[in-house]
Every structure is written in structure tokens, then in C-alpha cells.
Amino acid sequence: MRPTEFNWFTRNAGRARGVIVPLMILLLWQIISTRGWVSPLLLAPPGQVVAAFQELLKDGTLWSNLLVSLSRVVKGFLLGTSLGFAFGILFGISKQAEALLAPTFNAIRQVPLLGWMPMIILWFGIGESSKVVFIAIGAFFPTLLNTFIGIRGVAREYLEVGKVYQLSRFRLLCLVIIPAALPSIVSGIRLSISLSWLLVVGAELITANSGLGQMMTNAREMFRTDVVMVGIIVIGVIGLIIDTTIKQVETRLVQWQTVK
């Protein structure tokens, strides 16, 4: 497990290789713009995008919209994932609950998320709650499914130890079942977070008066291609940061699994 010098080198070389393609895209983008192959209305030149980014930073538009989007993500994710966790545990430990509710949940899951949008707007209006509910529905299922799968996959050997030592249902759940299912639960939560971030932008593109998605819709209507592109890059980078952070938390949490 100890990183040797060789390991260190290859690992960082690998990381550096990941930057090659973005740099080439940047180069190509610059060439296309300077040669004038594509109208700047369709593809803003890199310099203009950077300028737009600085402008948005300076007047605070980017920050305020980003914060609005992030707060929707956090609310929707927490709501959806905690419900998903609760139902995942319920289905995992109770075959009756699974038999009673799982088919319904499965049917609901078959409706594409965007298909919920009209209903959500009817019920919750176009205010904050509709976005939060939309994200929550999306975040609900990955956590639910992975929690359920994790719990059903707990080794029989562990459950037998719990039975031999007569652990109460509550202690069995907290000391044995949830820790054993944790790797699966955490990867479900990771999927939920990533999905929440994707959905907030989607929701804001459809209906919103603030947020990154709305900023981009506005910019599109005013042919500010540079602002749209700033939006795309910011969304991508934030998504990447979220995913990398969760991955690290995941490795930390389930360390006992990888260290054999």
C-alpha cells in the first residue's frame, strides 16, 4: 500500500495526461474563433468568455446565481436522499414493506424526471418549492435502490453473529446492517448528489427567476453566447468538484473495506 517513487510518478503523470484533451479543445476553439470559421454569435471566442466571466464575477451575478442553485441542490438532495435512505432501509429489512410498496415505487421510477415537471408546477407553482421537489424526486431513487441492495447483500455470516449474541433489532441495524451496507449506500448517495446538480440546472432552464440555469436562458435570449458558455463551464467544474469530493469521502468512509 505504501506509494513508491515509481507509483508517485505514474500517478501524477496520469493526472497530467487528463489535462491534454481539454488543452487541445481550448487550442482548437481559439483557432476556430481567430480564423472566423464560426460566427461569434454561435461560439464566443475564449477571450470573450474569460471577459464575460470576469464581468459576471465583478457585478456579483455569478455568485448570487450560483448560491441560489447550490441552495436548491442542497435542499432537494437532503430531502430526497434522506427519504430514499429511510425507504431503502425499510425495504431492506422488511420483506412485507417491500412487497407492499416496491412495485408502486418502481412504477413511479419509470416516469422520466422531466415528465414530472408539469405536475410539479401545477402543485407547487413556479417558486422555490417546485425546484426542490423536482431535485428531491431525482435524488430519492439512487439512494433508495443502493441502500436496499446494500442491506440485502449483507453477509449471512454477519447476521448470524448478530443472532447468536441476541442483538436487538435497533443495535443490529446500527452496528451490523448499516455499516456492512455502507459502501453501497455511499455510492447511492454519490449518484444522488451528482444527479441533483444536473437536475437543478435543468429545472432552472425550464422555469426560474434566478439560478445558473436562468442566467443562461436569459443570456441566450439576448444572444450573450459568452455568458451561456461561462454557465456551461462553471456547471461542469462545480459538478467535477462535487464528484471528486464525494469520491474522497467515500474512500475514507469505507476504508476498512479496501484495507484487507
Partner 1 sequence: MQPLRIDNVSKTFRGSTREVEVLRAFELEVAAGEFVSLVGLSGCGKTTLLRLIVGLDSQYEGSIYLGSQRLNGPSRKRGIIFQEPRLFPWLSVERNVALALDDEHRKHANGTVQEHLELVGLKGFEKVFPTQLSGGMAQRAAIARALVANPDVLLLDEPLGALDALTRLYMQKELERIWEREKNTMVMVTHDIDEAIQLSDRVVILSSRPGRVKRIIRVDLPRPRNRESDEFAALREEILREFNLMESGLACSRKGINGEGI
**Which residues make up the interface to partner 1 (CB under 8 A)?**
157-158, 160-161, 163-167, 175-176, 179-180, 182, 256-257, 259-260
Q: Report the distance separating Cα 88 and Cα 148, nearest Å.
A: 4
Q: Tell me, what amino acid is at 247?
A: K
DSSP element (H, E) containing 115: helix 113-124
Work out the burial of residue 121: count CB atoms within 10 Å of its CB; fewer than 13 is exposed, 13-18 middle, 19 or more buried.
Answer: middle
Q: CB-wise, 180 or 200, nearer to partner 1?
A: 180
DSSP element (H, E) containing 15: helix 5-35
Q: Report the distance separating Cα 84 and Cα 87, nearest Å.
A: 5
Which region, left, alpha or beta, applies to residue 211 given φ > 0 means left and ψ of -120 to 50 means alpha?
left
Here the cell at position 252 is: 475514507
Give phi and psi for 41, each to the nearest 5: -70, -30
Asked whether the beta carbons of 131 and 76 are under 8 A apart, the reply is yes
Q: CB-wise, 105 or 158, nearer to partner 1?
A: 158
Q: Report the distance separating Cα 143 and Cα 135, nearest Å.
A: 13
Q: Report the distance separating Cα 80 and Cα 21, nearest Å.
A: 36
**Which residue, 135, 142, 137, 150, is CA-closest to 211?**
135
